[in-house]
Structure 1
Amino acid sequence: MISDFQAKTAVLTGAGSGFGLECARIGARLGMKLVLVDVQQDALDRAAAELQAAGAQVLARRVDVSDAAQMEALAQAVQERFGAPHLVFNNAGVAAGGLVWESSVRDWDWVLGVNLWGVIHGVRLFAPMMLEAARRDPAYQGHIVNTASMAGLLTPPNMGIYNVSKHAVVALSETLYQDLRLVSDQVGASVLCPYFVPTGISQSERNRPADLVGGPPTASQLIGQAMSDKAVGSGKVTAPEVAQAVFDAASADRFYIYSHPQALGNVQSRMEAILQQQNPPDPFAAKPEIGEQLRAALRAG
């Protein structure tokens, strides 16, 4: 829980766009010192210039969050410039779809590298710094927010590789919450589970490393990309609204952060099926036409 953000330090991955940038903008308005992390240099440069112009102290670093050495260098730079951070937003993420058996090893390496290993590195490097700061200063308050997805609580078809990465982030975050509670009352944790919100995630391929590019996309991957573009682009909840929810959760020590609480009915149906030992429920029960379209498109191939 963080009761006052003024003059505190925030580390934000994926800060060049989407939730990361919107959280950085809120942090600047609240007087925070900002560590902006992104793999896309031009987006990072624009964000850094904007937030410096807004009066924030900024440390901007181009980092591939899946790379342990780069993340270790980032943590050292943060320690040297600002000391232990107070808010860490492990937010960088990429999206990929397609039938689960059609994902190549390179697909898995890319998606799990960013979505899961990026969060692992953020936790393993910054949590010890924050706990040490808490031990030294009884007034220190820190909070870690990891970006998962509603896909971390559901299992929509044709999104297997993404679902796996986000389920892992939810499990990691819930365990982090429990582990922190064992050792400190000064450092908390939250998990962000957004649904379809207009951000740049559906265009993730723009930042895919050349050595992790697989072969030409399969029919199911193309269908998944088209459905993702449509769903994300038509989202009514905005990235600034989600960013505000992140800060509200960090202030209130609230663990689960949702952009679309109305989607929790699907989570409940899934959990009830698990408890009752039933087969997984129809993910398109509320919108059968979407399921019919996807089934027809996949079988047409």
Structure 2
Amino acid sequence: MKHYQGRTAVITGAGSGFGLELARLAAQRGMKLVLCDVQADALERAAAEFAGHELMARRVDVAKAAEMQALAAAVRERFGAPHVVFNNAGVGSGGLIWENSLADWDWVLGVNLMGVVHGVRLFTPMMLEAAAADPAWEGHIVNTASMAGLLNPPNMGVYNVSKHAVVALSETLYQDLSLVSEQLHCSVLCPFFVPTGISQSHRNRPGELAGGRPTKSQLISQAQTDKAVGAGKVSADYVARLVFEAMDQQRFYVFSHPQALAGVATRMEDVLQGRNPSDPFRDKPEIGAGLRAALRQS
């Protein structure tokens, strides 16, 4: 992206975390804002922060196709095709993979994967149409995945699956866009542990997908995630700035913690050499020992 002033950004999960920081940077660049979040009070606070700025604030559950369809129609009617779409909304979940209920799968895949699917399928055609009509038009789609989309840490399988799918979707989108346009690009954001509200995302879990009594492994995962996310040293603001840098440079992969790529390299070596998956706790064996002991306690 070369120009932002007067252009439109659609941001899901805009009430907090990465979404709110992306909105702040977009506003600083003079963009019109479409802020979406499932948490009404957080969305209201975010919208109030941008009072006087041209914006649309809309409560949306990104997992629901009809709500996303209505959002896309409203954006088209008011602003036309958006120039930037941040498919950012996400939720966290953990526990041994066989202990996750169907409701867990429906909730996590609904938000983390289908939310991105809806954003891509609804806004991409609109953006390509605008590009075809104007040779100077430019746009960018950013999908929020995770380092868990490139690794497979234990005791958080549903989340891993959802984020691997987002990485696969995004890489395919990159390739598909390259076949049809030079004006629309995409990136995938793969953050590691950053202090956001994702570890408490169950606060927005819909009643029809309510979880049952948490298992021991799920309680352990929740505690570990709370600790890791809370101790993160990289801020959401910093990550949002990395995203804008990536758009400026038309760079696909966005990593908040490049040092975590060592684990990705090990995983790729496992695949290429036909090795069994490496111990994820090789560098911190005390964590692995503690997790095994906790899970095996009667």
Task: Give how far 1:185 is off.
Answer: 0.2
Tell me, yes or no, if structure 1 residue 256 matches structure 2 residue 245: no
Consecutive unaligned residues in structure 2, runs of 5 or more: none
Q: Which residue of 1 aligns with 2:31?
A: 32
Q: How many residues align?
A: 298
The corresponding residue for 2:144 is: 147
Which AA in structure 2 matches 1:7?
G
Give the equivalent residue in structure 2 for 1:12. Answer: 11
Q: Distance in 2 between matches of 1:175 and 1:248?
A: 22
1:296 aligns with 2:293: yes
SS in structure 1 at match of 2:161? helix
- Summarize the alignment of residues 137-286 of structure 1 with structure 2, pairs less than 5 Å apart: 137-286=134-283
Q: CA deviation at 1:283?
A: 0.6
2:74 is matched with which residue: 59, 77, 84? 77
Partner Cα distance (2:156, 2:45) in 1: 32
Could you say what secondary structure the match of 1:217 adopts?
coil
Rounded to whole Å, the distance in 2 between the matches of 1:290 and 1:4 is 46
Q: For residues 44-193 of structure 1, what are the structure 2 equivalents within 5 Å?
A: 44-52=43-51, 55-193=52-190
Deviation of 1:56 (Å): 2.0
User: 2: CA distance between counterparts of 1:265 and 1:226?
Assistant: 25
Superposed displacement of residue 293, structure 1: 1.1
- The letter for the 2-side match of 1:11 is V
Structure 1 residue runs of 5 or longer lacking an equivalent are none
Deviation, structure 1 residue 82: 0.6
TM (norm. structure 2) is 0.99
C-alpha deviation, 1:4, in angstroms: 1.1
Q: Secondary structure at the match of 1:151?
A: helix
- Give the secondary structure class of the aligned counterpart of 2:50: helix
Secondary structure, in 3 states, of the residue corresponding to 2:247? helix
Q: CA deviation at 1:98?
A: 0.1
Structure 1 position 282, deviation (Å):
0.7
Taking the aligned partners of 2:235 and 2:123, their CA distance within structure 1 comes to: 28
Once the two structures are superposed, residues 33-60 of structure 1 have per-residue CA deviations (whole angstroms, 9 ceiling, x without a partner) of 00000000000000001012xx421100
Q: Find the aligned partners of 1:139 and 1:51 in 2 and give their Cα distance.
A: 28
Q: For residue 31 of structure 1, what is the amino acid of its counterpart? A: G
Instruction: Quote the Cα distance in structure 1 between the aligned partners of 2:16 and 2:147.
Output: 20
- What is the CA–CA distance in structure 2 between the aligned matches of 1:120 and 1:163, rounded to whole Å? 17
CA deviations 1:260-296 (Å, max 9, x no partner) are 0000000000000000000001111121111111111
Distance, in Å, in 2 between the alignment partners of 1:293 and 1:30 is 47
Shift of 1:32: 0.4
